[in-house]
Amino acid sequence: MRIVFLLLTAFLISCGNKEQKKDLSVVIKLSIKNFEKVSVDLGDRFPDVKVLQSRIRIEPDSAILILERKIAQPGFLDMGIVNPAYKANWPIILYADGSGDTIFIEADMKTYARKTLKPYPGITTNSALQNELTLYRNLQDSMRSEYFRQKDSVKNLLIAAIEKGNQIDTLSAVVNDFDKHFKFFQVAAAKNFQKRINPSVISVYAALDASIARWEPGYGFELYKNLPEDVRNSLYGEMLNDELIKYSAVNEAVGDTLHVLYGETENGRKIAPQDIFKGSKYTLVVFWASWCGSCVKEVPELNELYAKYKKKGFSLIAVSIDKDRQKWLNAVEENNYKGLHLLEKGGELNIKEYNIFALPYSFLVDQGGIIANVNSPLDSIRMKLEKI
């Protein structure tokens, strides 16, 4: 009887779990004012993050279109309203949270037909994240309008100067270079948006969209550090960190001497890095944090390097910027992280000293403390270690 009871209990629990599991879905209601012949495309915003099973293309025969689709995971979608008469695409970015709440979109084709700046279409929904995304897109519209206003103002000054026969070389250069300034308006829109909301996955989207990792890596790194842990370790958070690593000024420190490392060991002891460098042919100094998914992922490979080359004169120092000492200690133990470990809570001194704009961040240092490589791929470091 006891066995039958246990089996029945397990069956009931499993049934309950099945009932609790809900399919993720997105529902979009598109209302097209001044309806003309259009086609609607819907697909993933980022190729590496699959939200929809496949791209959708529809040619609606009425002014109202309702799309309901299951999604694999919450994420960003790219919707395009294409009007063949104008040979142009009206891009709309959506965030599908999987709740099934309807996203209402109103697109006015008269507005679309104008050759001036097209304001972002009206979007209403119960999704807080979609509303944040719409706020960001509206701020983008505002900054774009300001960009074109300033550009037109400069052009008008140039035209006036030409008509008066004045010197125009300087103004011509300003007009020709003005397009290069557009990125700063994009960054300003993203930063303005991020000041208005608590850090979220939409903050990450704004940073990626404005290429903040490229133009303001220091700001991008602070944003990344302050993201909620689940967002930071999401696929979108990893994309932002990859961008930060890609655009870090990796060659600036090559040839410099690494003379100090801020932080203490697990026993509260400070170290003089030179003492370690002298005893090793190469030392890899890695800045990391327990909350950094990319950092934790590379630990097994770092451990493999350490085990293979330790006897040949290779050392490993892992410097954490965790704010929570216990989380740091737990992460070191759980990942069996080899080498010498230091903790500088928050990492502000190390970040400032070595211009760190991404995690993980690493220096390969020779016996004299001279930095030989910065943030090199581990395969590249392995090739160098093969020669010692």
* Tokens linked to 255: 């040839």
What b-and-e string marks burial along 290-301, b requiring 16 or more CB atoms within 10 Å of the CB? Answer: bbbbbbbebbee
Q: How confident is the model at residue 11 (pLDDT cuts 50, 70, 90)?
A: very low
Across the range 258-264, mean pLDDT stands at: 89
pLDDT at 329 over 60: yes
The CATH number linked to 29 is 2.60.40
Instruction: Report which DSSP code applies to 167.
Output: -
Side by side, which strands form the sheet with 99-108? 64-70, 25-33, 99-108, 122-124
pLDDT tens digits, 39-48? 899 999 999 8
pLDDT at 268 over 50: yes
The verdict on 31 and 119 lying in the same domain is yes
Q: What is the mean pLDDT of the chain?
A: 83
* Tokens linked to 277: 């460098």
Q: Where a domain ends, among 212, 247, 282?
A: 247
* 10 within some domain: no
Across the range 269-293, mean pLDDT stands at: 89
Contact 107, 90 (CB under 8 A): yes
* 259 within some domain: no
- Alpha-carbon distance of 72 to 25, in angstroms, equals 8
* 20 within some domain: no
The CATH number linked to 316 is 3.40.30.10
* 87 within some domain: yes
* 180 within some domain: yes
Most confident of 36-40, 167-171, 342-346, 355-359: 342-346
Task: Give the rounded percent of residues in the chain with a pLDDT score beyond 70.
Answer: 83
The verdict on 114 and 168 lying in the same domain is no
Instruction: Report which DSSP code applies to 121.
Output: P
The pTM is what?
0.74
- Alpha-carbon distance of 289 to 244, in angstroms, equals 15
pLDDT at 207 over 70: yes
pLDDT at 331 over 90: yes
Report the domain count for the chain. 3
The verdict on 39 and 102 lying in the same domain is yes
348 vs 248: which has the higher pLDDT: 348
Look at residue 8 in the predicted model and tell me its pLDDT: 40
pLDDT at 113 over 90: no
DSSP 3-state assignment of 258? coil
* 191 within some domain: yes
The verdict on 219 and 290 lying in the same domain is no
pLDDT tens digits, 72-109? 999 999 998 887 776 656 789 999 999 989 999 998 87
Q: Residue 75 is part of which domain span?
A: 25-125
Look at residue 3 in the predicted model and tell me its pLDDT: 44
Across the range 335-351, mean pLDDT stands at: 93
The verdict on 285 and 357 lying in the same domain is yes
pLDDT tens digits, 129-169? 999 999 999 898 888 888 878 777 766 665 665 555 555 55
* 227 within some domain: yes
